[in-house]
Amino acid sequence: MALAPVYSSLRTRNRKIDFELYGLSRQRFDVVFLDLDAHSLKIRVKEIRRKMNSIKLTKLECARRQMETAILLWFDDGEPVSIHTLAAASLEVLHDLGKRIGESALIFDSKRFRKEKFSEWKKIVRESQNFFKHADKDPTKVLDFKPDHSEILLLNCIDLHRRIGNQRSPVMLVFWHYFAIHHPWYFLSDPKQMPPGFRDFRKLSKTQFFDERIPVCQ
């Protein structure tokens, strides 16, 4: 495939030498080395071609990777802004995919909110996400970020991924179990209904819980 030349120039000893540099193609990139002879100012150009690696991904796969990375960071007490950004990005993709088949994230389902409150709720949910992505309108703003909100996003990611892809990975299941054990009122009308053995898991740290449960969920 012929590549369109990009013209550049080089100044040496007050003399200007024009030469052609060839740019990127889809299959390769060209690295140009210049070997200057101080006497004749001749330019020797070498071109090296190398294939670029690629990964084929579906939208659902991208959402899963982002979500699971956020969960792993969360269990490891990783950087909270990164966790939230990954979780929010995953949920946006899953929400868009879900709308095509009549499914939506619970926190974005307008049927579950009073009409006059839904816009306000969406603004609250997306406040941190937008703050982390943009600085065009509020470059000096300071955010009062609550990292616990990331957990709600991850729960919605897991739930929507199950409804779209009909599966929950081991990493998703471990997070789901941890949240259910520590916040049973989200899942049970009476938290006292939780089996006694499950309460013992509350004594474990997040890392210990993950190490204990991941073999069971695989």
Delimit the domains of the chain by residue range: 5-51, 59-217
Q: Looking at the predicted structure, is the pLDDT value of residue 114 above 70?
A: no
pLDDT at residue 207 greater than cutoff 60 = yes
Task: Report the alpha-carbon distance of residue 93 to residue 196 in Å, rounded.
Answer: 38
pLDDT tops 90 at residue 89: yes
Q: What is the mean pLDDT of residues 96-107?
A: 87
pLDDT at 27: 42
Return the ∠ at Cα 107 (arms to 101 and 113), rounded to 5°.
105
The more confident residue out of 157 and 124 is 157
pLDDT of 13 > 70? The answer is no
Share of the chain above pLDDT 70, in %: 66
Q: Which residue, chain included where needed, has tokens 């049970």? A: 188
Structure tokens at 58: 């579906």
Beta 15-22 vs 28-36: how paired, if at all? Answer: unpaired
Helices (H) and strands (E) in the chain, counts: 7, 4
Q: How far apart are CA 19 and CA 32, in angstroms?
A: 11
Which tokens sit at 93? 């993709």
**Rounded Cα gap, residues 116 and 207, in angstroms:** 41
Residue 164 near residue 94 (C-beta atoms within 8 A) = yes
The predicted pLDDT at position 15 comes to 42
The pair of structure tokens assigned to 50 is 């190398």
Would you say 147 and 83 are in contact if contact means Cβ atoms under 8 Å apart?
Answer: yes
Examine the pLDDT at 39 and tell me if it is beyond 60. no
> What pLDDT score was predicted for residue 117?
62
Task: Tell me: pLDDT of 40 over 70.
Answer: no
Mean pLDDT of the chain: 77
149-165 and 80-99 helices, crossing angle to 10°: 30
